[in-house]
Structure 1
Amino acid sequence: MRKFGLIGKKLGHSFSKKYFTEKFEREGIQDASYELYELPDARELTALLQREPELAGLNVTVPYKQDVLPLLDELDTAAAKIGAVNTIRISEGRTKGFNTDYIGFKESLEAFYPRQERGQALVLGTGGAAKAVWAALNALNIPYRAVSRTPGSNELSYEQLTPALLQGYNLVVNTTPIGMHPHTAAAPPLPYGALSAAHYLYDLVYNPEETQFLKNGAAAGAKTCNGLGMLYRQADAAWEIWNS
């Protein structure tokens, strides 16, 4: 029996277990199971691998996407460049980290944001998920600026997001957990009244399916997309990696 699973700090609202369990049933995969592994610290990964020798692959969720990097034997080129891992392949006792968030976001953005409409993007947040988004935007030649509560060089603060500035960026991507269940009334602090039908709002959050961020955008006429498409695509990419 091959074991797969998800590691993170709090996993009460996991998409992955339901998705993979249903996939195994639907496709008649009888030699695989998927479990949740809540770890109080990323460094517990080493003990988990010793405890569960049948593990063949893991997904990694917040807040450990960057913390696991030094614990792995090897990194895929893209994951090393991004500086975050959300998928680990375990083979013959060795671990290799990959980033399928990058694949999932890039593919779903291409479907949502037409080539002829592409301008500049604002990326809200600077964590592990943001790094995958930056890499995908670079691959698609979409210029972007990162937005942070504590901005570094070449990053914007939320206070700088004026109505005038928003006119120069027609794609806004939320990579933060703001608005995620159970805090569904929260939304990133933007001048939503400055949005228009020319804007595209993409939220990596998928629970709820329509966040307050997306509701505010839709009310202003903007096109909106949640993180479900990205989620399915990154999960399928993880499965391919585990079986390659």
Structure 2
Amino acid sequence: MKKYGLIGYPLTHSFSKRFFTEKFEKEEINATYENFEIESISWFPEIIKNNPGLIGLNVTIPYKEKVIPFLDELDEAAEKVGAVNTVRINRSKDTIFLKGYNTDTFGFEASLKPLLKAHHTKALILGTGGASKAIKFVLNKLDISFISASIEELKKNEIRYEDIDQRMLEERLLIINATPLGTYPKTETFPPIPYEYISEKHLLFDLVYNPEETQFMKKGKEKGAAVKNGYEMLLQQALKSYEIWNRD
């Protein structure tokens, strides 16, 4: 029986375990998916060693970057983004080879591209955490320029939220929420931007998927903007992970 799993901490609300368990049952696939809730990434080698049937892992917060030193190779996206959310485990008689991938980039691109219009040439990313790295990779690939709003110490190509004004929003018609604001149970929260300048030309993409419609999305819809949540991105990255694990 093939075995897959997820490492992270905490793992109280795991989309991956529920998704793959249902997939295996529905498609009558002889496989299991297990959560490995580890308090330290130093436990990672023990998971590989103690689960000889394990051939694939997903990686979530806070280990997408910390897992990299334990891997033998990275694919292009993982290397450029600097984060891994999928690990393929190749086992031979005497060796174990671990390759890291970033399927968040695939999921975001697959979800975003059908919604893009010719005028979506400039983006505003809300947040500068780990989630924003995959977003930047895809925007660069699609030749969409971007600037990020941060509450941390400013780095290159970053601004403060209070600097987001009418001119900026009229210029940047793609707005991506890469923060956890609005996530259940704190569904009343939303990124602090001047929504009065949102128009029907805007596309608001929220990486949050629970609830299905966030306050960020509601405020965009009220102004006639197109909106999208993060569920399809999540679904697409999961399917891509499964494809990677089962390549010949």
User: What band does the TM-score fall into relative to the shorter chain?
Assistant: over 0.9
Q: How far apart are residue 76 of structure 1 and its match?
A: 0.9
Q: How far apart are residue 90 of structure 1 and its match?
A: 0.7
TM-score by length of 2: 0.94
Give the structure 2 partner of residue 180 of structure 1: 183
Q: How far apart are residue 42 of structure 1 and its match?
A: 2.2
Q: Is the 8 A contact 1:43 1:71 kept in 2?
A: no
Superimposed CA distance per residue, residues 6-65 of structure 1 (whole angstroms, 9 cap, x where no aligned partner): 1111212111111111111121111x1001111112222122212222211111112211
Give the structure 1 partner of residue 74 of structure 2: 75
Give the structure 1 partner of residue 239 of structure 2: 236
Distance in structure 1 (CA, Å) of the matches to 2:112 and 2:200: 17
Q: Does 1:199 align with 2:202?
A: yes
Amino acid at match of 1:187: F
Q: Does 1:51 align with 2:32?
A: no
Q: How far apart are residue 117 of structure 1 and its match?
A: 3.2
Distance in structure 1 (CA, Å) of the matches to 2:3 and 2:41: 19
Residues 121-200 of structure 1 aligned to structure 2 (within 5 Å) = 121-150=123-152, 151-200=154-203
Aligned length: 242
Q: How far apart are residue 164 of structure 1 and its match?
A: 2.3
Q: How far apart are residue 127 of structure 1 and its match?
A: 2.3
Secondary structure of residue in 2 paired with 1:37: strand
Aligned CA-pair RMSD: 1.2
Amino acid at match of 1:60: V
Amino acid at match of 2:178: T
Give the structure 2 partner of residue 101 of structure 1: 104
Give the structure 1 partner of residue 15 of structure 2: 15
Distance in structure 1 (CA, Å) of the matches to 2:186 and 2:66: 25
Distance in structure 1 (CA, Å) of the matches to 2:216 and 2:62: 22
Distance in structure 2 (CA, Å) of the matches to 1:126 and 1:42: 23
Secondary structure of residue in 2 paired with 1:167: helix
Q: Give aligned-pair identity as a percent.
A: 49
Amino acid at match of 2:136: W
Distance in structure 2 (CA, Å) of the matches to 1:126 and 1:187: 16
Runs of 4+ in 1 over 4 A off after TM superposition: none
Q: Unpaired segments of 5 or more residues in structure 2?
A: none
Distance in structure 1 (CA, Å) of the matches to 2:217 and 2:40: 33
Q: How far apart are residue 94 of structure 1 and its match?
A: 1.6
Distance in structure 2 (CA, Å) of the matches to 1:165 and 1:117: 14
Secondary structure of residue in 2 paired with 1:12: coil
Give the structure 2 partner of residue 41 of structure 1: 40
